[in-house]
Amino acid sequence: MTEGEILTMRNRLTARMKHVRWWEWLIIAIVACLAAIAGVYAVQAVQIRNHENTAVDAVKHAISEGELTDMDSTVEQMQEETAAARDIAHNGWWNAAAGLPGVGHDVQVMQRMTGVIADLAEQTLPRYANLVSQLDFRTLFHDGRIDAEALVELEPALAEANKSLNEKIAEYDAIERAHMGVVAGAYDSGRNMLAAAKKATTTAADTVLPNIRTWLGYDKVQTYAVLAMTTAEMRGSGGLVGSIGTVTFDHGKITIGDFMSNVELLDYKATNVNKDEYALYQLDGPIHLRYDVRDVTNAPSTKRVAELFRNIWNQSPLGDGVTLNGVVLADPVFVQSLVKALGDVKLQDGKVLTGDNTAEYLLNTVYKDHASDDTDGVFSTVARDCVSRMMKGASPRAFASFVKDLPALTRYRHLNAYSFNKSLETVLTELGLTANVPRDAARPQVGIYLTEKNPSKVGWYIKRSTTVKQTNCESSGPATYHVEYTLTNTFAKEELKGLSSYVTGDWGAYPDRGGSGMETIVFYPPAGGQLKDFSVTGGGSAPTTGALEWAEVFRTYVQLRPGQTVTYSFDVVVSEDATQKLEVDETPTGRQTANVRYTYLCPVG
């Protein structure tokens, strides 16, 4: 553009401005003022949200860092942050806007919300902080004993704190939900936070404290079996059971019994195997599960594992005069979290296990360094050492480190438990410790459960990944997804030569099968939903229908040779009641979390 053209455009613009009418200028000014005011409110709304989030983060930090003995400073910080949020929502700008039509309602919602939360921090939180301060953590967990009496004594104070909390929740619930997105989002977030707090504190008051004496064996000794699993040889809930230990609770004292090898229980088989389990796992080969102790974890629900193992327990000498009260399922990833929290463990051969290498050592390296008869003993030695150290008086920081890992350990099936005591099982379920097949239509899951049919430790080399893509963003009705589930056998052929058949599998006349994964795979539909349109690439056959855990499932078998990759593609339709995205529940791996990637999810709102 030439200098002359630029001058011409400038003159035209100046002429146009001269002809703008006075009322046009007024409109421009009003719009500019409204934009400026809206900007102020937007900035201050973000400030309010940040103050509230900082208050919540203060509690999370105290828990994650084990600073529960200094709750006064945490409460003080929460009071400062919530008071700052309340003050912003009640300043001159917000008070003026509260009387305006339309937007005034949402402003009033924000003001009432921040007021209730600030009151809660000032009046209710100190009551809970006082509860914590009454506990002497050095004596509450000391010398392998939990002092239930000290916890029971908290009942009256907890009831008063809960009463105050419920009053604040009632005030919050009386606030009508806002219309504007940012305020409505803050309202929903606050409501969800209060609901979670109410659920936890009500459970503590109504279930935990009234029953904790029973759970800890003050009335009668409680005995739980610990099933040590190796996910290097997959079973639906985790892996083959290599060794079995016990944990007893007697007047609060926790005793870790000796672990025994699975060999000592091989003469006993579960006699309560149902028809579906028989058809899927005993009738079909190439290996027909015996459902001795090694195979009880093949059931994908922890409750069913407990039922199968109790059947064996009652047949064996273990059950002579001893009632089994429940089971605990634990794998090497769980043990690694214990080591990370409590400190390194040095084995008799000088090997040092840390919070980074324990899982790999127990799932793979141990089978290279030790004779097969010694491998289960290494697991039990490490696990017992860690649990004993924890119960003898681990620091609050060590407990906090483990608690931080607990949600992932339970969500991805590295640590699960089931109790035949109904009140305790209610708590275990709420904590996510009891795993199950997909049962909740509101929180849809597709279950993928593997059984290794090659007696080996090939599972360490089978790498699994899942991609999920939502596909019906523009249509109404239940959400649909496209899922691709991939397995790759990463065993290198040259590596096979230096490994024992205990790792690669001993097939005698069929040496080409060595190092192969022989997987029976069950695909379980989401509650109230369905799976459809299966296809397979890379070998194997398309899944066919079967039945398991009272549902129609899809089943298949694949022999996965070293270097081979197989991908199963299928579509998932979830229930109309689903309120969350589709998740994947699967047999655990040697990693803490599953390898699930969402390639696309429909925009929300």
Residue with tokens 């052929």: 493
What are the tens digits of pLDDT across the range 159-184?
999 999 999 999 999 988 877 777 77
Q: Which of 20-34, 242-256, 350-364, 520-534 is predicted least confidently?
A: 20-34
Higher pLDDT, 349 or 51: 349
For the packed helices 71-89 and 125-134, what is the interaxial angle rounded to 10 degrees? 170
* Residue 264 pLDDT grade (very low, low, confident, very high; cuts 50, 70, 90): very high
Output the CA torsion 45→46→47→53 (10° steps). 110
Output the CA torsion 134→138→141→144 (10° steps). -150
What are the tens digits of pLDDT across the range 11-60?
555 555 455 454 444 444 444 444 444 444 556 666 777 777 777 777 76
Helix (H/G/I), strand (E/B), else coil: 392: coil
Domain 222-429 CATH (choose: 3.40.50, 2.60.40, 3.40.630, 3.30.750): 3.40.630
In this model, does residue 461 exceed pLDDT 60? yes
Bridge partner residues of 586 (DSSP): 448
Tokens read off for 452: 């290794």
Average pLDDT, the chain: 86
Contacts of 479 (CB under 8 A, 6+ apart): 444, 470, 472, 573, 574, 578, 581, 582, 602
Helix (H/G/I), strand (E/B), else coil: 83: helix
- DSSP symbols for 235-304: ETTEEEEEEEEEEEEETTEEEEPPPEEGGGGTT---S---HHHIIIIISSSSS----SGGGGGGSSSHHH
Distances (CA, A) of 299 to 49, 239, 289, 329, 408: 45, 10, 12, 12, 21
Helix (H/G/I), strand (E/B), else coil: 586: strand
Helix, strand, coil percentages (3-state) for the chain, rounded to 5, are: 50, 20, 30
Rounded percentage of the chain residues whose pLDDT exceeds 90: 54
Q: What angle do CA 370, 365, 408 make, to 5 degrees?
A: 130
CB of 574 closer than 8 Å to CB of 582: yes
For the packed helices 422-430 and 181-203, what is the interaxial angle rounded to 10 degrees? 150
Rg over CA atoms, the chain: 30
What are the tens digits of pLDDT across the range 231-253?
999 999 999 999 999 999 999 99
Higher pLDDT, 565 or 26: 565
227/126 Cα distance (integer angstroms): 42
Output the CA torsion 455→456→461→467 (10° steps). 20
What are the tens digits of pLDDT across the range 418-436?
999 999 999 999 999 999 9
In this model, does residue 406 exceed pLDDT 50? yes
The amino acid at residue 58 is: A
What are the tens digits of pLDDT across the range 75-112?
888 888 888 888 887 887 667 777 777 677 877 888 88
101/399 Cα distance (integer angstroms): 52
Higher pLDDT, 42 or 374: 374
In this model, does residue 542 exceed pLDDT 80? yes
Bridge partner residues of 470 (DSSP): 481
- Residue range 59-81: mean pLDDT, rounded: 72
481: nearest Cα among 605, 603, 602:
602
Domain map of the chain by residue range?
45-211, 222-429, 438-600
In this model, does residue 115 exceed pLDDT 50? yes
Tokens read off for 168: 């604040």
* Residue 65 pLDDT grade (very low, low, confident, very high; cuts 50, 70, 90): low
Tokens read off for 198: 């109410």
Q: Which of 6-15, 21-30, 475-484 is predicted least confidently?
A: 21-30
Q: Is the pTM here over 0.85, yes or no?
A: yes
What's residue 36's pLDDT? 44
Q: For 530-554, give the secondary structure using H, E and C.
A: EEEEEEEECCCCCCEEEEECCEEEE
Which of 205-209, 284-288, 411-415 has the highest average model confidence (pLDDT)?
A: 411-415
58/60 Cα distance (integer angstroms): 6
Q: For 227-249, give the secondary structure using H, E and C.
A: EEEEEEEEECCEEEEEEEEEEEE
- Residue range 537-552: mean pLDDT, rounded: 91
For the packed helices 396-411 and 372-391, what is the interaxial angle rounded to 10 degrees? 130
Helix (H/G/I), strand (E/B), else coil: 585: strand
In this model, does residue 409 exceed pLDDT 90? yes
What's residue 34's pLDDT? 42
- Residue range 460-486: mean pLDDT, rounded: 94
Rounded percentage of the chain residues whose pLDDT exceeds 70: 88
Q: Which of 319-323, 398-402, 571-575 is predicted least confidently?
A: 398-402
Tokens read off for 92: 């001159």
Q: Which of 41-55, 220-234, 327-341 is predicted least confidently?
A: 41-55
Strands 583-586 and 445-452: parallel
Peptide bond into 511 cis (omega under 30): no
What's residue 6's pLDDT? 57
What's residue 453's pLDDT? 92
